[in-house]
Amino acid sequence: MARRRQAVTIRHVAADAGVSLQTVSRVINKEPSVRPEMLARVKASIERLGYVPSIAAQRMAGSRSYLIVALNDRERTIAGWRDRQGTDWVDQMLLGGLLTCAEHGYRMIVELVDTHSDHIERELRAAIAAIRPDGVILTPPHSENTLITCLLEEHRIAFARIGSRIAGPGFAVAMDEAGAARLATEHLIALGHRCIGFIAGPDDYELSGWRTEGWLAAMADAGLPTDDLLAVGDFGFASGRAAAAALLDGAVPPTAIIACSDQMTLATLELARERGFDVPGDLSILSFDDTPIVRFVAPPLTAIVQPIAELTACAVKRVIGDPAPEAAEPIIVPATLTIRASTAAPRSLA
């Protein structure tokens, strides 16, 4: 039987580099007190020997855990998984978070937490005690939950709030939500639409208000009315269908609708088809999120592309101190618009 290969340890690295164990430990822990020539020697030995630092050993050697925890909404995430509706938001968060953590020698763990639970404080305290994270990434709606942010402050854990720009502790990282809604609305106005409906998200998401503000501002700048053109959903399919019906049954039905999630947009498309509308001839439809499914429906949907991976990468860099924690100004990442076949000039102008 072949003998099991002996694992390379910190002692092997120290002997190969001709330095002390303490020096190797400081290099692994990225401490600033190592001289450049020593740093180069140790890194060369690590590369040559193929040494992989053990997180357990790092935790024993210092106060850091090298673990980042991302808190995501339990109810919505599990519902998306169970209904097999797709969880592209979570996938993109993992893409940006996992890769960025790995680049800096960290690992990321995802915890699902119900922000409305009566037991949220107990759950969080248990998770903090078990994991001892160096940083936490909060996603909406946790980003605005003061119970969570105060608890993290109490434990002096660095954290970033994705999708939040309100004043408060932690680092704010957000997409330009108002700019995104303005971009979507201006695209439809440029096509000739003058009656543009808007299906907003729920009020417990701060970003819902920003998106509504962006739509209102673009319509006002163009001198267009917004009365009876605003409806509200909860990001889910059923709420999107109800909101679209309310808009289409209004006194002046819109010739275009912007919906603030792909599920609400797909519901709008379904309702339009049932009513015999041609999309985009009778009704242009524009979505937020740009999850994979919107590219494969007929017609493919024009959509705001949320830079979720980039937002999460920025959040991770903030909580681990790259850039330095003193850079506390919010990071605002612009959105982009992908134009597909679901938007066109209204039939009266075609």
pLDDT in tens, 209-220: 999 999 999 999
Domain membership of residue 349 (yes or no) is no
Q: Do 198 and 162 fall within a single domain?
A: no
Range ranked top by mean pLDDT from 1-15, 41-55, 104-118, 231-245: 231-245
Region of poorest pLDDT, from 39-53, 170-184, 305-319, 320-334:
320-334
Residue 80 pLDDT level (bands cut at 50, 70, 90): confident
The pTM (predicted TM-score) of the whole model is 0.78
Domain membership of residue 187 (yes or no) is yes
What proportion of the chain, given as a percentage, has pLDDT over 70?
92
Q: Do 243 and 230 fall within a single domain?
A: yes
Range ranked top by mean pLDDT from 116-130, 138-152, 159-173, 179-193: 179-193
Q: How many Å apart are CA 13 and CA 16, to the nearest integer?
A: 5
Contact 330, 206 (CB under 8 A): no
Contact 169, 138 (CB under 8 A): no
Domain membership of residue 86 (yes or no) is yes
Q: 174-198 pLDDT, tens per residue?
A: 999 999 999 999 999 999 999 999 9
Mean pLDDT of all residues in the chain?
89
Question: What six digits make up the tokens of 73?
Answer: 């909404």
Domain membership of residue 285 (yes or no) is yes
Region 316-344 average pLDDT: 84
Q: Do 57 and 77 fall within a single domain?
A: no
Domain membership of residue 343 (yes or no) is no
Which residue, 266, 276, 333, 285, is CA-closest to 306? 333
Cβ contacts of residue 269 below 8 Å, gap of 6+?
279, 285, 297, 301, 342
Question: What six digits make up the tokens of 140?
Answer: 């909406």
Domain membership of residue 202 (yes or no) is yes
Q: 274-303 pLDDT, tens per residue?
A: 999 999 999 999 999 898 889 999 999 999
Task: Read off the CATH number of the domain in which 34 is found.
Answer: 1.10.260.40
Contact 267, 237 (CB under 8 A): yes
Q: Do 45 and 91 fall within a single domain?
A: no
Residue 11's pLDDT is 87
- Enclosing domain of residue 19: 10-61
Q: Do 121 and 200 fall within a single domain?
A: no
Region 99-107 average pLDDT: 91
Residue 227 pLDDT level (bands cut at 50, 70, 90): very high
Q: Do 88 and 202 fall within a single domain?
A: no
Contact 319, 136 (CB under 8 A): yes
Contact 285, 298 (CB under 8 A): no
Q: Do 190 and 300 fall within a single domain?
A: yes
Q: Do 163 and 91 fall within a single domain?
A: yes
Contact 135, 124 (CB under 8 A): no
Residue 64's pLDDT is 78
Residue 2's pLDDT is 44
Number of structural domains the chain divides into? 3
Which residue, 81, 83, 111, is CA-closest to 97? 111
Residue 328 pLDDT level (bands cut at 50, 70, 90): low
